[in-house]
Amino acid sequence: MNHNRVVCFDLEMCCWNENGVGTTGEIIEVGLAEIDLIKGEIVKRAQYYVKPDQDEVSLFCSQLTGITPRKIEKQGRPLAEVIKSMVKNFGGANKIYAAWGRDDIVLKQECLAKGIDMPFNEYINLATLYRIQNRLKDKRIGHRAAQESKGIEWEGRQHSGYVDAYNLAKLALTML
């Protein structure tokens, strides 16, 4: 296990908003940003688009994430191929992965449903760690608000897996 490196990741999923109720479906983007805890810097980034098997990208989803059906059609690959690329380029079970919230469960459930091995074993929920470190017992806080509370400027469009993973890596460097 490489404890000097952590791979921050963010998932974007197919999403809909009907009558003010948001729902999500299959993964359509995986953003990754690896940090080196010794150097204190982001050392690698990647973005993978995923072709959903059953869902499609709604207009609401395109407006929220910037991901269009055309982008998925042109650049998307099956989740199994994306997972192989993740493991090849970022390492699998030998790395610690981290996200804001429970993206590990989302990924695990979709991998299980599609017969794909989970790409990692070790996981850190940075939202929980942030709440512990900042004594926020019952209060939930979003990633952007947490980052800005630490004086770290948000860069880029929120709800892009690539951008969110990068920003999360910046925050993680102050937490780990």
Task: Give burial (CB, 10 Å; 0-12/13-18/19+) of 141.
Answer: middle
168 and 150 Cβ atoms separated by less than 8 Å: no
Number of domains in the chain: 1
Give yes or no for a contact between 61 and 42, defined as CB atoms under 8 angstroms apart. Answer: no
Q: Which residue range forms the structural domain that includes residue 121? A: 5-175
pLDDT in tens, 73-130: 999 999 999 999 999 999 999 999 999 999 999 999 999 999 999 999 999 999 999 9
Domain CATH code at residue 9? 3.30.420.10
**What is the model's pTM?**
0.95
